[in-house]
Amino acid sequence: MNPRVSILRCKGYGNGEVYDCVKALTDLLGGIGEFVKRGERILVKPNLLIGKRPEAAVTTHPSVVKAVIRLVREAGATPIVGDSPGVGSASRVAEKCGIMDVCKDSGTEFVELKTPVLVENPGGHTFKRLEVAREALAFDGIINLPKLKTHTQMFLTMGVKNIFGCVPGKLKAQLHLTAGVDTDCFAGMLLDLYLFLRPRLTVTDAVVAMEGNGPGSGDPRRLGLVFASRDAVAMDLIITEVLGARREHSPVLKRASEMGLEGAEKEGVVVVGEEIRGVRVSGFRFPPLVSTNFTANLPYFIDRRIRRAFTSRPHITDLRCNCCESCVDICPAGVMEKNEKINIDYDRCIRCFCCQEICPEGAISVKQGWLKSVLDFYSFRHRS
Ligand code: SF4
Ligand code: SF4
């Protein structure tokens, strides 16, 4: 059967309103009983990137988590909420963003996805072995609750990317090292992980999304939308179109198409609820398209200054930095160090942007290589 994606408007985060919208979204897909059976234990997996208030739009809104907990219970199953942020504990993040209150008030268990286990993935396209959290494997099924945000390396973070939270903490950064600077390889790993864990349902919180310098410190943008699907690739494709971008902008969707995944082809996706043209968003601020391996095919003898001039890099705004060293801790290449301020060895930086993703102060942004900016400017003028 063709992948189905449901879209509905949801004006705000009032508890009753969100529950009604999420229930209606799942009803459009056949009802929650299509995804959850009586007696099952279901992992409810929000985005718990870093501990910020819900208004910052960094984490999935607590009322979306609350609505899904209620739906899972109504289906006779047991919901358990869990995730693994890049730095620190998930419960601390959940406390700050209001999700722990939801768990306490509803008597829902919370689990840290923290114990790495190596699993065979013979069907994997890019990775034949994966390291995931043992805790995430202990459930009958997963309901995936991403927050719609911009993402420096992956363009947007939606359904497929949110499953990366099932890889324990610092291992995430190490996987960036394994995948190197090759964004396509990293996208392939995300898709292998998604296909391996295969959440039964994905519900995206885009009531207030994030634009600009996402995913940790962009600007909240009210879209008033929620999306759901059994197929997160199809849902990501439809969201990308709603935002006015193309599939080719997203490394995950581009790779999904190369892998022949059905959800990556719009012709095969059925949209129910609101029509795409009725909810299209204008002027959404995407992150700059980073060029991480722009010079990878150039001869090695080319001077490193030329490489730098072409390649995007993380840039620290010292005035915003409070020297918490979270970036130093997470940097998989070990190229950040604190002296009087935080310094980066750009020659060894692999451009994974983990530091930018987790900086709690929004002190790290992406700076494009100056020569690349100049070329982009002239090619844009030439086109227009
Ligand atoms: S750049 Fe951000 S993460 Fe790094 S030390 Fe400064 S505030 Fe902390
Ligand atoms: S400095 Fe930032 S972008 Fe460079 S390797 Fe370290 S975490 Fe990745």
Q: What is the structure's pLDDT at 384? A: 44
> How far out from the chain centre does Cα 208 lie?
15
Q: What is the structure's pLDDT at 291? A: 56
Structure tokens at 146: 């991403």
Alpha carbon of 236 to those of 56, 219, 253, 344: distances in Å?
Answer: 22, 20, 8, 33
Q: What is the structure's pLDDT at 299? A: 53
Q: What is the structure's pLDDT at 127? A: 86
Ligand in closest contact with the CA of 88: 1
Three-state secondary structure string covering the chain:
CCCEEEEEECCCCCHHHHHHHHHHHHHCCCCHHHCCCCCCEEEEEECCCCCCCHHHCCCCCHHHHHHHHHHHHHCCCEEEEEECCCCCCHHHHHHHHCHHHHHHHHCCEEEECCCEEEEECCCCCCCCEEEEEHHHHHCCEEEEECEEEEECCCEEECHHHHHHHHCCCCHHHHHHHHHCCCHHHHHHHHHHHHHHHCCCEEEEEEEEEEECCCCCCCEEEEEEEEEEECCHHHHHHHHHHHCCCCHHHCHHHHHHHHCCCHHHCHHHCEEEECCHHHHCCCCCCCCCCCCCCCCCCCCCCCCHHHHHHHCCEEEECCCCCCCCCHHHHHCCCCCEEECCCEEECCCCCCCCCHHHHHCCCCCEEEECCHHHHHHHHHHHHHHC
Q: What is the structure's pLDDT at 371? A: 60
- For ligand 1, whether the C-beta of 325 sits within 6 Å is yes
Domain boundaries, the chain: 4-274, 304-383
Mean per-residue pLDDT, 296-315: 65
Q: Return the top range by mean pLDDT from 24-33, 165-174, 209-218, 280-289.
A: 24-33
Asked whether the domain spanning 304-383 has the same topology as the one spanning 4-274, the reply is no
Residue among 174, 291, 344 to mutate when testing ligand 2 (max atoms within 8 A of CB)? 344
Cα 359 to ligand 1 centroid, rounded to whole Å: 5
Tell me the sheet residues that pair with 132.
117
Q: What is the mean pLDDT of the chain?
A: 91
Per-residue pLDDT for 276 more than 80?
Answer: yes
Give the model confidence (pLDDT) of 104-126 as tens digits: 999 999 999 999 999 999 999 98
Q: Looking at ligand 2, which atom is closest to the CA of residue 313?
A: 3
Q: What is the topology classification, in CATH, of domain 304-383?
A: Alpha-Beta Plaits (3.30.70)
Per-residue pLDDT for 100 more than 80?
Answer: yes
Q: Which of 129, 139, 259 is nearest to 196 (CA)?
A: 129
369 or 109: which leads in pLDDT: 109
Mean per-residue pLDDT, 63-74: 98
Distance CA 270, CA 357 (A): 33
Mean per-residue pLDDT, 47-76: 97
Determine if the peptide bond prior to 215 is cis (ω within 30°): yes
Q: What is the structure's pLDDT at 383? A: 46
Percent of the chain exceeding pLDDT 90 equals 76
Name the pTM for this structure: 0.88
Give the model confidence (pLDDT) of 114-166 as tens digits: 999 999 999 999 889 999 999 999 999 999 999 999 998 899 999 999 999 99
Ligand in closest contact with the CA of 313: 2
384 or 142: which leads in pLDDT: 142
Its CATH class, for the domain covering 4-274, is alpha beta
Residue among 342, 356, 367 to mutate when testing ligand 1 (max atoms within 8 A of CB)? 342
Mean per-residue pLDDT, 29-51: 97
Mean per-residue pLDDT, 279-301: 71
